[in-house]
Structure 1
Amino acid sequence: MMRKKRGYTRDVPVELVRDYKLFAIACEGSKREPDYFKILRYLSKKIAVDVIEDIVSEEEALSINPNKSAPKWVLDRAVRYIEKEGLNNDDDLWIVMDVDRWSEEQLREVASYCEQFPNWNIVISNPCFEVWLYFHKKSDIKISNSVSCGEFKTEISTFEKGGYDPLKFLPNFVEAIENAKAADSDKNHFIPKPKETKVYKLGEAILEVIGKNDFDKFINTVIPQLANEKKANLKKKLTKK
């Protein structure tokens, strides 16, 4: 898909108008979350997905915030992305964060900043992103004995033979949205209760744009292709060894 330069307002030249919606996603995790969201790029031609960590290097983000150990680090990286790439009013920015390391005051600081812009969103998991992954495979998280992030990561790795693989979880994207939404005991508060997540709101926003037909094509055609490509690449690496 040819990418167009994003502007800051709707008043952009006709030649820069595009027929897809951008979802720019900033997340805390260094691997699991980015790997998951990168696959969403293949969902539909109606959307584009930028994982901000791919576009804004740590060096660029450090230039405006040398302190990586705060949730504002994720926000600063998102700000630098917009300075670099631009963002149309029709596009969405989503900041995906966890509760496990941060106080409510720290998370509220990021949420308050996002509230200044109609297309900026923050979605939080408690205690971590693995709660969102859990809902891809199971509907009732109350039966889980996991409490900490480490425990959830270990449990998630048991759901599929060979351990966690986003290609084996994303076919249950719709189920995850339904399960996580049903489990959300306080939909009006931006910080979820323990063993709950708000990431389903990002999922709903994406599905609203792409529609059922494109999602079915993604599940039935694209996911198998990506899985075969992954197997082929792994085989090549093993052969070289």
Structure 2
Amino acid sequence: MITRRKDYSKQAPSKNASKIYIVCEGAETEKNYFGFFEGLSSNLELIVIPPEEGTDPLKLMELARRELLDETRTHTLDFMQNDKVWFAIDTDTWEEEGKIQPLRDFCADQNGHISDKYDEVKPYPAWSVAQSNPCFEIWLYYHLYDTVPDIEDIKKHPSVKAFVNHCIAGGFDYQKDPARLKDAIENAEKVFSRKDNGNPELFSTEQYLLGKEIYGFVKPELQKLRNKLG
């Protein structure tokens, strides 16, 4: 559990706050990262939904269905308030196993039926996928670096996570480094590319798209925090 930073006061979400639900593979890393932004804006409520019975995209899809769509759901989506759902997933072996495209199709199907269920709501991308190749840690890397990592350097380490921790002295600091969100968005977008099948190329991440969503709400407070980092 990360100790809450003392350089800002947590703001309770307002009655009309938009919600961003993040259904993710990691039970700790993603939760710690996105937890940094909780309470930075009263106009945004971030809810992280960690995995329960498995981390592959199909299991996360079923988790989202139970938590957000079923009659026994735990959470409520309000499309009038522009609520959104993001799946933060790794490429891992899921692409080879054909488990990513069904998740993307599921999101497209949900988006296509919003106006069917709510006549007064115009269609918008309420359901989205943020895929990182090979894993979420490559997104953390772009908080401090603006170039694609060298694959030979990565091979010197047991994992991409270990490589990122090596690159960042002391490892990624979840209490301060997420304040570099604007840098990460710019760095990741600059080097981003897709394969012919639409999935991110190696060392590319769609997390910058989710980052833009969050940044739009927390920009003023985040700029103050970022200035303290120098």
Q: TM-score, normalised by structure 1?
A: 0.72
Aligned residue for 1:51, secondary structure, equals strand
2:77 pairs, out of 55, 72, 87, with 87
Does the 8 Å contact 1:130/1:152 carry over to 2?
yes
Q: Answer with 175-184 or 162-171: which moved more.
A: 162-171
CA 163–208 in structure 1, closer or farther in 2 if over 3 Å, else same: closer
Q: TM-score, normalised by structure 2?
A: 0.75
- For 2:101 and 2:202, how far apart are their aligned partners in 1? 17
- For 1:207 and 1:27, how far apart are their aligned partners in 2? 19
2:128 pairs, out of 107, 116, 121, with 121
Aligned residue for 2:33, secondary structure, equals helix
Q: Quote how far apart the aligned CAs of 1:76 are.
A: 1.5
Q: Report 1:154-193 matches (<5 A).
A: 154-186=162-194, 190-193=198-201
In the alignment, which residue of structure 2 is the partner of 1:12? none
Q: Quote how far apart the aligned CAs of 1:160 are.
A: 3.7
Q: Percent identity?
A: 28
- 2:200 counterpart of 1:207: no
Does the 8 Å contact 2:13/2:43 carry over to 1?
no
What is the Cα-based RMSD across aligned positions, in Å? 2.7
2:56 pairs, out of 49, 64, 70, with 70
- 2:159 counterpart of 1:151: yes
Does the 8 Å contact 1:24/1:51 carry over to 2?
yes
The one-letter code sitting in structure 1 at the alignment partner of 2:64 is: A
Per-residue Cα deviation, 1:134-163 (whole angstroms, up to 9, x for no partner): 101111114352269943211211244433
CA 69–166 in structure 1, closer or farther in 2 if over 3 Å, else same: closer
- 2:23 counterpart of 1:26: yes
The one-letter code sitting in structure 2 at the alignment partner of 1:85 is: H
- For 2:145 and 2:49, how far apart are their aligned partners in 1? 29
2:95 pairs, out of 100, 103, 122, with 103
Does the 8 Å contact 2:18/2:45 carry over to 1?
yes
In the alignment, which residue of structure 2 is the partner of 1:237? none
Does the 8 Å contact 1:42/1:218 carry over to 2?
no
The one-letter code sitting in structure 2 at the alignment partner of 1:37 is: F
CA 98–140 in structure 1, closer or farther in 2 if over 3 Å, else same: same
CA 148–80 in structure 1, closer or farther in 2 if over 3 Å, else same: farther
Q: Quote how far apart the aligned CAs of 1:220 are.
A: 5.5
Unaligned stretches of 5+ in structure 2? 1-10, 112-124
In the alignment, which residue of structure 1 is the partner of 2:8? none
1:44 pairs, out of 41, 45, 52, with 41
CA 32–185 in structure 1, closer or farther in 2 if over 3 Å, else same: same
Count of residues paired in the alignment: 197
